[in-house]
Amino acid sequence: MQASVPTAPDLNLGVATKLREYADLLVQQGEGGFRSRAYYKAADVTTALKRPLNEILTEQGRMGLVALPGIGYGIAAAIIEILTSGHWNQLARLRGDLAPEILFRTIPGIGPKLADRLADEGHVESLEDLEYALHFGDLAVKGIGERRKRMIASALAERLGRPTVIVSGRRTVPSVSLLLNVDQMYREKAAVDQLPKIAPRRFNPKAETWLPIMHIRQNGWYFTALYSNSRLAHELNRTHDWVVIHYQRDSEPEGRCTVVTETHGPMAGRRIVRGREAEQEEKESQT
């Protein structure tokens, strides 16, 4: 007997359910309302579609999704991740059960050990993160040579529904000063218990609800900030120092950075955006 294929309503409803849950969690976690309304609208649009979303993706790629009412680049990236992997890291993050290594294992060329190293050493947690690091970042993870990078990049391009050659260039990123402002706001609110908390699944055997999370919109950017729950943060006792900030605009996929207290060099003791130290030091020297 041939396995049944999900109909358009069944497939699209599954995606819409995840989009709607994400919007619900944004509301519960104190988001101002703009993003949650966008995801509720996207859920309504996908529910009403007569064609399966995966058919649109196969025939028209990412731009076919972006052409739908209420579906921008960020939500299109979310839909692609759901359709191609069954996971959606942004939703998992808000639930507290983010496990990026599981997602990475779905990519050809990435086994369990390499997936773990990407999450812990490479500081990437989504397919978009990994793609960007392969093309534009300094991804120094044991087990990834140039040949494997090309193979993984090709698999990612196919998974994400775009050409293998990335032509869009580097992402636009928030200014260092804006990121430091979000970092300060998050830590101040967390210190006086003014933020909702989630119970992360990783490194939390007692399932304690300890991790503060903040959603905020500033200067045209949407930010989600929370303390790092990585293996390295736990090993170095930095789970209440390192702040991971996720940022997104309507026209671009999500990006992320980590803000930490520097322990060495001329900026020791100060908050820095990891990977942008030189930019930060140069700007501060001019003020």
Q: For the chain, first and last CA: distance in Å?
A: 72
CA–CA separation, 59 vs 106, rounded Å?
22
Give the whole-number percent of the chain exceeding pLDDT 70.
89
- Check residues 13 and 133 and name the one with the higher pLDDT: 13
> What average pLDDT does the segment 130-149 reach?
74
Domain spanning 8-87: CATH 1.10.150.110: yes
Judged against a pLDDT cut of 90, whether residue 44 lies above it is answered with yes
| pLDDT at 160 exceeding the cut of 80 | no
* CATH number corresponding to 100-160: 1.10.150.20
Q: Where are the domains of the chain?
A: 8-87, 100-160, 176-285
Q: Report the DSSP pairing between strands 221-227 and 243-248.
A: antiparallel
What confidence score (pLDDT) does residue 6 get? 54
Specify the pTM. Answer: 0.75
- Rounded CA-CA distance 251/138 in Å is 25
* Percentage of the chain lying above the pLDDT 90 cut: 46
CB-count exposure of residue 277 (10 Å: 0-12, 13-18, 19+): middle
